[in-house]
Amino acid sequence: MANANATALSGRSGVQITIDSAKVDTAKLAETLDKLGVDVGIDWLWGTGTGKADLLYHASLSALDDGPAAVDISGTDIKDAFGIACDFSLLKLVFIKNTDETEDLLLGGLANQIPIAESTTPFAEYGVIVIPPGGFLLWVDPIGVDVKTDKYLQIWAETVDITYDVVLMGEKTP
């Protein structure tokens, strides 16, 4: 199996938010409590189809301040944890964490980018997502977006070179 990336993959991606907000009502001498609870996610299985993936890439990379770096997810630039080229056909999960403490990380903005940032106003006619210092982006599409043509993850730093963590998951090109 020299060309197989993974033979098993399982896990969960999701968002869990639990916040309690209290306000003291001085007239009633009591607290009013507002509770927010969000728990959404997907249980991933190995394979192809909705909620399944057979390709995983993760790394800590550097973003340069002299222009966007295009991470090509078509199998020519990146390798999985086993050293095998990652050739995505469908992208199902993108996680990017800006590990810098002061600088913004910019995602998107150029042609042939993975279509997760779109814009109706011109910024090189493509949308840009700003990930603030210490912030992160989690994008999930359980069906997957076709990335055979638009296959570049455009990433750059605002003013100085910074590092970021990236996780990509989806289906490999058959």
Higher pLDDT, 144 or 174: 144
Q: The domain containing residue 83 runs over which residues?
A: 55-172
Angle at 39 between CA 35 and CA 44, to 5 degrees: 175
Indicate if the pLDDT at residue 110 is higher than 60: yes
Higher pLDDT, 70 or 142: 142
Domain assignment present for residue 13? The answer is no
Where is average pLDDT lowest: 7-21, 76-90, 120-134?
Answer: 120-134
Structurally, how many domains does the chain consist of?
A: 1
What pLDDT sits at residue 121?
57
pLDDT digits (tens, 9 = 90+) for 132-161: 999 999 999 999 988 887 788 888 887 788
Kindly report the three-state secondary structure assignment for every residue of 73-126.
Answer: CEEEEEECCCCCEEEEEEEEEEEEEECCCCCCEEEECCCCECCCCCCCCCCCCC
Sorting pLDDT into bands at 50, 70 and 90, what band is 35? confident
Domain assignment present for residue 150? The answer is yes
Sorting pLDDT into bands at 50, 70 and 90, what band is 58? very high
In this prediction, what percent of the chain has a pLDDT beyond 90? 26
Domain assignment present for residue 83? The answer is yes
Where is average pLDDT lowest: 25-34, 42-51, 138-147?
Answer: 25-34
**Residues contacting 148, CB < 8 A, separation 6+:** 74, 89, 173
What pLDDT sits at residue 40?
85
Indicate if the pLDDT at residue 17 is higher than 60: yes
Domain assignment present for residue 60? The answer is yes
Domain assignment present for residue 106? The answer is yes
Domain assignment present for residue 129? The answer is yes
What's the CATH number where 154 sits? 2.60.120
Domain assignment present for residue 115? The answer is yes
Domain assignment present for residue 63? The answer is yes
Higher pLDDT, 133 or 119: 133
The C-alpha atoms of residue 67 and residue 159 are separated, in whole angstroms, by 10
